[in-house]
Amino acid sequence: MRFKSVIAGALMVPTAALAWPWSTDMMNQPSIKPQEGTMIPFPERSIPTTGIPTKVASRDEAKEMVNPVAVSPESLKKGQGLFVIYCAACHGLTGAADSPVSSKIGAISLTDSYVQENLSEGWLWGTITFGSYVMPAYGVPQGKRGSNDLSVEERWHVVNYIKNGLVKDHAAAASSVVAK
């Protein structure tokens, strides 16, 4: 009988140990959790970490914007990579609206002279940011980013590629097809 009471007492020890003061859960310690309280507003005149402030509310307001990202091989490479990920599904790898879905959704050819000569960089940036009739928005200026949203700087890299690299890549792709 004594053996049974020793076993029962041994089984009770771990249960009692969980109630000791030094065995509290780290979740219940005094701290400030990110979901609690009111968020402190950013200081006035603060800018995003990308360093490019943006204060436009529509595609029309973006029309006169000037691209703050200089055209460089690095910018064109970043823009090309983002174009392939986000734009090529509808506009085609060469931007000529030659993807299988282009005609079904009404995607335009970004290599046409109308786009290259008449649409400003700000207009293209605004279209990427706010979307258009069928095209989704890839930037939310209110600061609530989604999984498909591009940062301000990434959108300017795509604009650099559309205006300065896409036509050359399209011509190179077309000449390689003719050569075969």
The pair of three-digit structure tokens given for residue 112, joined into one six-digit string? 């046409």
As a whole number of Å, the CA-based R_g of the chain is 28
Q: In the 8-state DSSP scheme, what is residue 154? A: H
Angstrom distance (rounded) from CA 39 to CA 140: 20
- Fill in the amino acid letter for 104: K
Is 139 inside any structural domain?
Answer: yes
Count of domains in the chain? Answer: 1
Is 6 inside any structural domain?
Answer: no
Is 50 inside any structural domain?
Answer: no
Is 88 inside any structural domain?
Answer: yes
Looking up tokens 């109630």, which residue turns up? 19
Is 47 inside any structural domain?
Answer: no
Whole-number pLDDT of residue 171: 75
Looking up tokens 């307001």, which residue turns up? 61
Is 94 inside any structural domain?
Answer: yes
Which domain does 169 fall in, by range?
59-179
Torsion of CA 86, 88, 89, 90, to 10 degrees: 100
Is 170 inside any structural domain?
Answer: yes
Is 22 inside any structural domain?
Answer: no
Looking up residue 125, the CATH number of its domain turns out to be 1.10.760.10
pTM of the model as a whole: 0.66
Whole-number pLDDT of residue 30: 65
Angstrom distance (rounded) from CA 175 to CA 98: 16
Whole-number pLDDT of residue 131: 85
Whole-number pLDDT of residue 155: 92
Residues in the chain, pLDDT under 70:
1, 8-37, 39-40, 42, 45-54, 140-148, 175-180
